[in-house]
């Protein structure tokens, strides 16, 4: 490819709304162009990256035995009504009416359509297992699209769906996909982790996220440096402490804490470690009578150590809270506790409520909590002596750095990640809703066991940039660079030798199938180098008059601090040795 035939449009400044590096750099490098909030044109430079991502994903999906199809972007509402998602999904689901006033949606994902295909096409156990995938435009009407391709509204996703005859076969399909994903992410040349994720109502452990490691990632990833353990924050278990609860050593005391409504403030005021305080969170579950009418709220008091954060997914698994919960309102709290939030605790309440203690809190002694009276806390609180044992003890907190690894093989560390892939065992959630059955050996209809597997094709380049950039621009891994090599001739207009050498090298490399760019725009060296460093082409060859006279070209990898002189005659072999196979 020659630059004069391509569309290169680099910018000195990124637009003001570009908050993260990948967004800034993709805009500055002319890879994407904003059309509306969360809606981007993939410009020629960006599309090349996306196509390479697609090609790797497609190759590995095919190798894993998945079969590609393409489902419609605009889908009739009927199937979405069969599963109830047409009504249940929020405004992320973009709904349309056509000219006949019939309801449609823009696909955010395609479980309904693929399950409809499966129930029609996969009629016998002999046709299973089957895995159908597509690489196709999706739309989710995010409330706050941001970060460029990281959280756009329109995006490209690879979504695959497996259909199996039973749970064991579905697990095999799931494992095959998890393996394929490892091959895919290995090939991208990115540092990533496959982390266990919560599988929601389905249960079981068959859900993994593929997270590209990046300091700017939106997700916290928990892992054990001494073992294979890795999970996302929602999933990572905080083990129960192995020690027994210490005996009570202090008396229960009411202490004034004027204006100190946070555990940190209270600990500082009292000169005690934050770990000796307990925070009280009040949740509510709404009850209905037999007629289904609202019958008042049941309140729940959750107790967490002052330095710990609540984990909503874990809370959602506590019996009684597993059908849905909400935070109590301030009026509900004041009515129940006689105090506003900030000074709440489990002691001295007139009306009953359910107390759920985090595993850590359940083993504490002499702790500090609110006195249910504004500007007062209690110190020296002890289970059994000052209040009854909690109604439930559960893991309801996020793990923190240094917690023991759930696999018992070290301590946990935490880093940030960007979710770019997800494999998920669905069970019969969709096949049951849509009656997708096959006939088994005995001719009896059985529900298909399903899995779904996504890769954010257009998010991946953004994640790659978050992980690989410096102050000058992007540093692409070879596998997904828009061009692998850029040939930069200096003074091509003045020197026919430079022009001839540059064009010859360009042709030789192109003939070898190398993705090479010849910058024939006639830019000055500084501007030309800056452009390609911004764009992030990993390998650069400079052709200059002086170099040619001395018989060499200059090679520099995007990460190198200086150029290497390479004899003209050996440059193709040199480059081939540098390229990742």
165: left (phi over 0), alpha (psi -120 to 50) or beta: alpha
Q: Does 42 bind its own copies (CB under 8 A)?
A: yes
Q: Is 320 in the site for its own copies (CB under 8 A)?
A: no
- Report if residue 50 touches its own copies, rule: CB under 8 A: yes
- 55 is a site residue for its own copies (CB under 8 A): no
Which of 20, 25, 115, 139: binder of its own copies (CB under 8 A)?
A: 139
| Position 537 contacts its own copies (CB under 8 A) | no
| Cβ–Cβ under 8 Å, residues 363 and 241 | yes
Residue span binding its own copies (CB under 8 A) among the ranges 20-28, 37-45, 277-285, 491-499: 37-45
* CB of 7 or CB of 244, closer to its own copies: 7
Question: According to the binding rule CB under 8 A, does residue 40 interact with its own copies?
Answer: yes
β-bridge partners, 301:
282, 355
Binding-site string for its own copies from residue 109 to residue 138, where x marks contact by CB under 8 A and - marks none:
----x--xx--xx--------x-x---xx-
Contact 370, 408 (CB under 8 A): no
Which of these ranges, 35-43, 217-225, 229-237, 480-488, lies near its own copies under the rule CB under 8 A? 35-43
> CB neighbours of 488 closer than 8 A, spacing ≥ 6?
519, 525, 528, 529, 532, 540, 541, 542, 543
The span of 96-104, 394-402, 404-412, 525-533 binding its own copies (CB under 8 A) equals: 96-104
CB of 518 to its own copies, least distance (A): 14
User: Is-contact 415 225, C-beta < 8 A?
Assistant: no
Count of residues of this chain found to bind its own copies when the rule CB under 8 A is applied: 49
- State which H helix or E strand residue 10 sits in: none
Stretch touching its own copies by CB under 8 A, among 20-28, 63-71, 172-180, 303-311: 63-71
- Min dist CB 50 to its own copies, Å, is 8
Among 84, 91, 256, 319, contact with its own copies (rule: CB under 8 A): 91
Q: Which of 15, 17, 35, 567 binds its own copies (CB under 8 A)?
A: 35
Q: Please state, in angstroms and as integers, the Cα–Cα distance from residue 339 to each residue in 261, 268, 375, following that order.
A: 11, 22, 10
d(CA 324, CA 229): 29
Contact 420, 456 (CB under 8 A): yes
Q: What is the three-class DSSP state of 561?
A: coil
Q: Does 262 contact its own copies by CB under 8 A? A: no
DSSP 164-223: ESSHHHHHHHHHHHHHHHHHHHHHHT--EEEEE---GGG-SS-EEEEEEE-TT-SEEEEE
32 vs 344, beta carbon nearer its own copies: 32
Tell me if 485 contacts its own copies by CB under 8 A. Answer: no
Binding to its own copies by residue 96, rule CB under 8 A? yes
Structural contact between residues 464 and 149, judged by C-beta atoms closer than 8 angstroms? no
Binding segment for its own copies (CB under 8 A), chosen from 92-100, 238-246, 394-402, 504-512, is: 92-100
Q: Assess 87 for contact with its own copies (CB under 8 A).
A: no
Site residues for its own copies, 146-205, by CB under 8 A, read 153-154
Q: Identify whether the C-beta of residue 138 lies closer than 8 Å to the C-beta of residue 454.
A: no
Query: Minimum CB separation from its own copies for residue 47, in Å?
Result: 6
- Cβ contact 321:315 at 8 Å: yes
The answer to whether residue 246 forms part of the interface with its own copies (CB under 8 A) is: no
Decide: is 69 part of the binding site for its own copies (CB under 8 A). yes
Q: Report which DSSP code applies to 241.
A: P
**Which of 121, 175 has the CB closer to its own copies?**
121
Q: Which residue's CB is nearer to its own copies, number 38 or number 370?
A: 38
Per-residue three-class SS string for 442-478: CCCEEECEEEEEEEECCHHHHHHHHHCEECCEECCCH
Q: Is 98 in the site for its own copies (CB under 8 A)?
A: yes
CB contact burial 8-17 (16+ within 10 A = b; e otherwise): bebeeebeee
Residues that bind its own copies (CB under 8 A): 5-7, 9, 30, 33, 35-36, 39-44, 47, 50, 65, 67-76, 91-92, 94, 96, 98-99, 104, 106, 113, 116-117, 120-121, 130, 132, 136-137, 139, 141, 143, 153-154
């Amino acid at each position: 490819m020659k630059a004069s035939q391509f569309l290169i449009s680099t910018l000195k400044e990124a637009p003001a709304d570009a908050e993260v590096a990948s967004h800034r750099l993709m805009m500055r490098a002319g890879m994407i162009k904003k059309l509306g909030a969360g809606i981007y044109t993939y410009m020629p430079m960006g599309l090349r990256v996306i196509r390479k991502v697609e090609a790797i994903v497609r190759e590995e999906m095919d190798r894993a035995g998945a079969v590609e199809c393409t489902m419609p972007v605009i889908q009739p509402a009927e199937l979405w009504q069969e599963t109830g998602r047409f009504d249940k999904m929020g405004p992320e689901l973009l709904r349309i009416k056509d000219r006949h006033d019939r309801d449609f949606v823009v696909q955010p994902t395609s479980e309904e359509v693929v399950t409809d295909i499966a129930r029609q096409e996969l009629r016998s156990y002999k046709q299973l297992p089957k895995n159908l995938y597509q690489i196709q435009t999706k739309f989710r009407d995010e409330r706050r699209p941001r970060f460029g391709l990281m959280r756009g509204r329109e995006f490209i996703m690879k979504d695959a769906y497996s259909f199996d005859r039973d749970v064991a076969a579905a697990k095999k399909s799931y494992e095959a996909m998890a393996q394929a994903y490892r091959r895919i992410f290995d090939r991208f040349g990115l540092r990533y982790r496959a982390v266990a994720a919560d599988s929601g109502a389905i249960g079981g452990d068959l859900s993994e996220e593929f997270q590209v490691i990046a300091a700017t990632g939106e997700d916290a990833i928990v892992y054990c440096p001494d073992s294979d353990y890795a999970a996302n924050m929602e999933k990572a278990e905080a083990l129960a402490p192995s020690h027994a609860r210490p005996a009570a050593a202090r008396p229960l005391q009411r202490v004034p804490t004027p204006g100190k409504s946070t555990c940190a403030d209270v600990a500082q005021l009292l000169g005690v470690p934050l770990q000796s305080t307990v925070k009280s969170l009040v949740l509510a579950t709404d009850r209905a009578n037999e007629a289904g009418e609202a019958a008042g709220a049941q309140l729940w008091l959750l107790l967490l150590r002052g330095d710990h954060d609540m984990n909503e997914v874990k809370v959602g698994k506590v019996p009684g809270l597993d059908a849905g919960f909400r935070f109590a309102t301030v009026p509900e709290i004041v009515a129940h506790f006689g105090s506003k939030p900030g000074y709440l605790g489990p002691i001295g309440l007139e009306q009953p409520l359910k107390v759920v203690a985090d595993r850590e809190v359940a083993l504490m002694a002499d702790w500090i909590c609110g006195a249910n009276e504004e500007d007062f806390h209690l110190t020296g609180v002890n289970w059994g002596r000052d209040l009854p044992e909690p109604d439930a003890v559960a893991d309801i907190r996020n793990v923190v750095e240094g917690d023991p690894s759930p696999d018992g093989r070290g301590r946990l560390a935490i880093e940030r990640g960007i979710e770019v892939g997800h494999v998920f065992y669905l069970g019969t959630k969709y096949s049951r809703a849509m009656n997708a059955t096959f006939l088994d050996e005995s001719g009896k209809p059985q529900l298909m066991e399903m899995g779904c597997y996504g890769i954010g094709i257009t998010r991946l380049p953004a994640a790659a940039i978050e992980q690989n950039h410096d102050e000058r621009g992007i540093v692409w891994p070879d596998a997904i660079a828009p061009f692998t090599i850029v040939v930069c001739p200096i003074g091509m207009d003045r020197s026919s030798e430079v022009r001839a050498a540059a064009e010859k090298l360009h042709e030789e490399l192109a003939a070898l199938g190398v993705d090479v760019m010849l910058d024939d725009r006639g830019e000055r060296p500084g501007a030309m180098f800056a452009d390609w460093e911004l764009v992030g082409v990993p390998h650069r060859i400079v052709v200059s008059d002086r170099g040619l006279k001395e018989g060499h070209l200059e090679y520099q990898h995007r990460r190198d601090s200086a150029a290497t002189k390479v004899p003209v005659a050996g440059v193709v072999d040199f480059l081939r040795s540098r390229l990742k196979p």
